[in-house]
Structure 1
Amino acid sequence: MAAELVHASKFETEGEPEKLRFYYYTAGSGGAGPTILSTSFLLLGEEVLAYNKEKVKLKPYSGMLNINFGLGIGKKDVFLLNFPEGRNIHEVFGVPNVSARFGTSPFFWNWGMGAMTDFLPPEFLRDKSKVQQLVQLFDPLVRAVDGFAGEKVSMRVDLECSEGYHRIGIFSHKKLSVSLGFSTAAFVLAILEGSTRPGVWFPEEPEGIAVEATKTLLNRAAQGTINFVMNKAPWMVETDPKELGFGIFD
């Protein structure tokens, strides 16, 4: 999504990309159970690498923002985490200001994640065996809460360029487990069609997904979404479609 926004900006403005922000939201564990718990706990043990013209290190699960994920999701609180795409976008596309945030619900899970960074030493959270013990402790409770929290997932990517150009992409699905299936299949088809080069790549790298194949991949992955928009001005997706007088997909 980030790569598509950057590529599109080159045809729509003479300005240069200045800021790129990743925002992620998952209801509960998203149905992924121990997998997402392990990943989240391990990330809490890592300093967040963000970029404000130069690399900066920030406390994990700090810097809360209330972000509008649009139709079907609404506004959610998100917090800084050390996702690899932040560094990759900075290096691959040369965007000087990049950060990534994540949030979940119910709200008390966010409180719990923040408390872990306050009261548990980073060395503990980087120890996979200790994290696995935490996962086994919390997993039954998380699964119980998942029963009413659901497993919605949403991703929002914001790109700001010089000269006031601002475009976003949003991808939202009612079920993370279903969305993962479609997304995995989309990448497999891209490989089979020769849209990647041999090796292991991040999708934002040109060797990972060819520029001309990005739109096709995204449209395939977006099957069943409750909201999928790309390269739109923020006001077009942050406003109730009824107020605009047209559907969000028009």
Structure 2
Amino acid sequence: MINWSNTSNVAHTGVMTDRVLILGGRGRIGSSVAQDIANHTQAKITITGRTPETGSLPLAEREQYLSLDLVEVDKLREAIANSDLVVHCAGPFHYRDANVLKFCIEQGVNYIDVSDHRSFTSKALTYHEQAVAAGVTAVINTGIFPGISNSMVRQGVEQFDEAEKIKLFYLVAGSGGAGITVMRTTFLGLQHPFEAWIDGKWQEVKPYSERELVDFPHYQRNGVYWFDMPETFTLPYAFPSVKSVVTKFGSFPDYYNHLTWIAAHIFPKWLMQRNGMIEFLSHVSHTMTDFTNRFSGIGVAVRSEVTGKKNGSTGVYASTVLHDNAAVATGCGTGIVAQLILEGKLHKPGVLPVENALPTDLFTEVMDSRGIKIEHTFLKYPEQVMSPHGKDSAT
């Protein structure tokens, strides 16, 4: 049994205090989420990890630690039952089941996650009707990308009478301030081809292919490549008029891209599909980026381009956002959703990706409150050139 004697949700003033459970809260992403929620709400936060050691955790006044492994089903159910909101940060999500979401729906507890793979997204979306019936708001794919990126797209789509094409470009410097789990996610994403919505039909795409040079704020021109993200899968359904959705990811410095390309295209497929190889590459990459972070920084940049028609004219609405710490930016992207749910401003029963759940006015409001500025440019044909990026056939 869990000792909840210190987790009363009634503060000394007699006012009810929200209780937030962050699964995987010891990692760099989870701790960034916890910090953002602590900064912008009065919630009492419980963070979990698989080990009992808590000495190294800088627990704040409204935070506590719970040793919990997701396979401990009874303990997990009890922890969820004693919460008002659950934030699932225990990745990687490639092979995760949706039991946490299922338990939240069964117990009427709102849910958020930082999932970043279509396999998990597909599993989660099957619980949509159950969440609607239970009155549970479950927002999936939150963070920086997916997450803030999806809301940037929604804002772009809303500028047109009819949106036709979506392009999302992501760039992470060094390790991005994240831990080994994010490295695993990157290499797991190289294992298999995936389907992308191109020219009005689903087409198979090879991971880390079709290098493109894109201008990002601060980082200038850098290579990006096709990468399987849940928004590749969800955005075509959110915006049915769109005929193509492109999602490309790259690293800074650019030489990391070439090393990743080699892993995707030169290493034998059977080798890349072994867990041991994924672990080896993840640890080597993490060691390398820990060294180069001092030169590259650990920031993130996102560029969204939505092409569409407005009053009969075709144009593109481009949005860019820059943050000096990718892990902190992820915490903000998840924290804004948590804040709005806890404040009662976001109540949409069902299982919804960010672009379906978060209205643009609320998105801009909470982003402004965190001092995160999104730059916008509207380029109209034929007076202006559409896109400031080009293609490069090099690896």
Provide the rounded CA distance (Å) in 2 between the counterparts of 1:126 and 1:191: 39
TM-score, normalised via structure 2 length: 0.53
Q: CA deviation at 1:211?
A: 5.0
Moved more, 163-172 or 210-219: 210-219
Matching residue within 319, 328, 336 for 1:169: 319
- Pick one of 157, 182, 185 that aligns with 2:335: 185
Task: After TM superposition, give the deviation of residue 44 of structure 1 in Å.
Answer: 0.9
Give 1:153's aligned amino acid: V
- Name the aligned partner's letter for residue 60 of structure 1: P
Alpha-carbon distance in 1 for matches of 2:358, 2:276 = 35
Is contact 2:175-2:289 (8 Å) kept? yes
1:237-248 alignment, distance < 5 Å: none
TM, length-normalised to structure 1: 0.81
Write the deviation string for residues 101-137 of structure 1: whole angstroms up to 9, x where unpaired.
0111222210111101122344543444541232123
**Is 74-83 or 132-141 further displaced after alignment?**
132-141
Root-mean-square deviation (CA, aligned residues, Å) is 2.5
Counterpart residue number, 2:191: 45
Where 1:233 maps in the other structure, the secondary structure is: strand
* Identity across matched positions, percent: 23
Offset at 1:25? Answer: 0.3
Is the Cα–Cα contact under 8 Å of residues 50 and 99 in structure 1 kept in the other structure?
Answer: yes
For 2:319 and 2:179, the matched residues in 1 are separated by: 27
SS in 2 for 1:165: strand
Equivalent of 1:4 in 144, 152, 155 = 155
Do the aligned residues in 2 keep the contact of 1:19 with 1:97 (CA within 8 Å)?
A: yes
Shift of 1:76: 1.4
In the alignment, is the contact (CA less than 8 A) between 2:169 and 2:304 conserved in 1? yes
CA distance in 1, matches of 2:368, 2:273: 37
Which structure has the higher relative contact order (CA within 8 Å, separation 6+)? Answer: 1
1:170 partner letter:
T
Q: Is the 8 A contact 1:196 1:209 kept in 2?
A: no
Larger Rg: 2
1:203 partnered with 2:369: no
Give the counterpart of 2:220 among 60, 74, 82.
Answer: 74
Task: Trace 1:1-250 onto structure 2 (pairs within 5 A).
Answer: 1-9=152-160, 14=161, 16-52=162-198, 53-70=200-217, 72-94=218-240, 95-162=242-309, 163-194=313-344, 195-205=346-356, 208-220=357-369, 223=371, 225=372, 228-230=374-376, 232-233=378-379
| Secondary structure of residue in 2 paired with 1:131 | helix
**CA distance change for structure 1 residues 125 and 151 in 2, over 3 Å: closer, same or farther?**
same
1:180 partner letter = T
Q: Distance in 2 between matches of 1:51 and 1:172?
A: 27
Unmatched tracts of structure 1, length 5 or more: 240-250
Equivalent residue number for residue 144 of structure 2: none
Q: Is the 8 A contact 1:44 1:122 kept in 2?
A: no
Residues in 2 aligned to 1:215 and 1:106: alpha-carbon distance in whole angstroms: 31
Q: Deviation digits for residues 190-244 of structure 1, max 9, x if unmatched?
A: 2113314244421012xx22454232244345x2x4x5214643979x99xxxxx
Aligned letter for 2:354? P
* 1:155–1:171 CA contact under 8 A, matched in 2: yes
Say how many residue pairs are matched.
228
- Tell whether the 8 Å contact from 2:196 to 2:232 is kept in structure 1 after alignment: yes
Counterpart residue type for residue 139 of structure 1: H
Return closer, same or farther for 1:140/1:204 CA change in 2, 3 Å cut-off: same
Q: CA–CA distance in 2 between the matches of 1:3 and 1:121?
A: 39
Which 10-residue stretch deviates more, 166-175 or 131-140? 131-140
Structure 1's 213 and 57: CA in aligned 2 closer, same or farther, altered over 3 A?
same
Q: Distance between the aligned counterparts of 2:362 and 2:275, measured in 1?
A: 37
Unaligned runs of 5+ in 2: 1-151, 389-395
CA contact (8 A) 2:194 2:206 kept: yes
